[in-house]
Amino acid sequence: MKKRQSHNFFREYAATGSDNQSIIFSKDIYYYIIIKRFMDILLSIIGLVITLPLLLSISLLIKIETPGPVFYLQERVGKNGKYFNVIKLRSMNVDAERNGAQWAHKNDPRVTKIGSFIRKTRIDELPQLINVIKGDMSLIGPRPERPLFTAQFNDEIPGFVNRLSVKPGVTGWAQINGGYDITPKEKLELDLYYIENCSITMDLKIIIRTVQVVLTGEGAR
């Protein structure tokens, strides 16, 4: 089996250069990082316990509607270009990418009926709390993109990989200010704003706003 070049593919892009370091480490955020990691673990464990009945019910509905696995593992690009597998509840048909990777769009025919509901309410993202506990992600941060799209967007929008200077998040500033409906360029601008202004207060604001987005289904695709 061919070995995956998970740590080399983004070496030229990884956000570890001097320009990106100045964004993150010019601030005195040591305690913020420690507190954020503690809250990531605590809230993720609580979240998984509280939502376990819901996850089990949705998992059963997924199995009833379409054949195939309940969970969907997809390779994404994390902090400093490190690859990891994001965990999601499957919301599309098993053969959704038989023609290769495709960007999801509104009224996507590949999305199942239960998939449409869990995408609208963001329930499909709940298993990513496991990614948070593992340390691949944070509760708050730029949403992780697939390697193919990260490279494509960085070619089209120089500096797109500067989003990789922090851990990706389950939700983020871009998600509550447009979500799926914004362009990659707009997403980059919002993500960089978060990176430059991150704080506990801002994180709490994002969490509260995310709950509102989940309840209303804003920006679903």
Helices marked H in 26-146 = 30-65, 113-120, 128-134
17-62 pLDDT, tens digit per residue, is 434 444 444 456 788 999 999 999 999 999 999 999 999 999 999 9
As a whole number, mean pLDDT of residues 165-186 equals 88
User: For residue 102, what pLDDT is reported?
Assistant: 62
Q: Which region among 31-35, 54-58, 187-191, 212-216 has the lowest average model confidence (pLDDT)?
A: 212-216
Q: Which of 153, 143, 146, 129 is nearest to 176 (CA)?
A: 143
pLDDT tens, residue by residue, 1-10: 344 444 444 5
How much of the chain is in helix, strand and coil states, percent to nearest 5?
A: 55, 10, 35
Within 8 A by CB and 6+ apart from 36, the residues are: 138, 140, 200, 203
Interval 81-100: pLDDT, tens: 999 999 999 987 766 666 66
Q: Over pLDDT 70: what percentage of the chain?
A: 77
State the first-to-last Cα distance of the chain, in angstroms, to the nearest integer: 35
Look at residues 74, 75, 101 and name the one whose alpha carbon lies nearest to residue 89.
74
